Amino acid sequence: MVRAAALAAGFPNNTAASSVNRFCSSGLKATQDIANQISLGNIDCGIAIGAELMSAASPGPQPFHEEILKRSKDAADCMQPMGQTSENVGKDFDISRESQDRFAAESYQRAERAQKAGWFDDEIVPIATTVKDPKTGQE
């Protein structure tokens, strides 16, 4: 799927593309993979993209048979969505939902202040794009 998306976006057919499924950390893992490839000298630049569709996720068929997952609680737990995992961690470490929400709000506020203060100016690069309506082809 990612290969088709890259080609449809206009990348040449000799451009590499890969995907990773890490639930909510897919974008973070993609960024880490690109950074590692650049630091190793394997590529000069790369594009890391994270996309999630958790709101449309449904409890569909499991990729492993139930008997396999019964053999290990950890194996069964890793099949949970990240939203449920965070609830479990909060319960295990006695961290209330209210405390988590306060921390999240403070984290976003700090990030916003840091960006406005220019702390990320060397890391955030504007990219000009053209968006075409898929039905009309108009920009």
Which of 5-9, 48-52, 54-58 reaches the highest mean pLDDT? 5-9
- What backbone phi and psi angles, to 5 degrees, belong to 100? -65, -40
pTM (2 d.p.) = 0.52
Residues 59-75: b if buried by 16+ CB within 10 A, e if exposed = eeeeeeeeeebeeeeee
Task: Give the model confidence (pLDDT) of 59-84 as tens digits.
Answer: 656 666 778 778 888 877 777 777 77
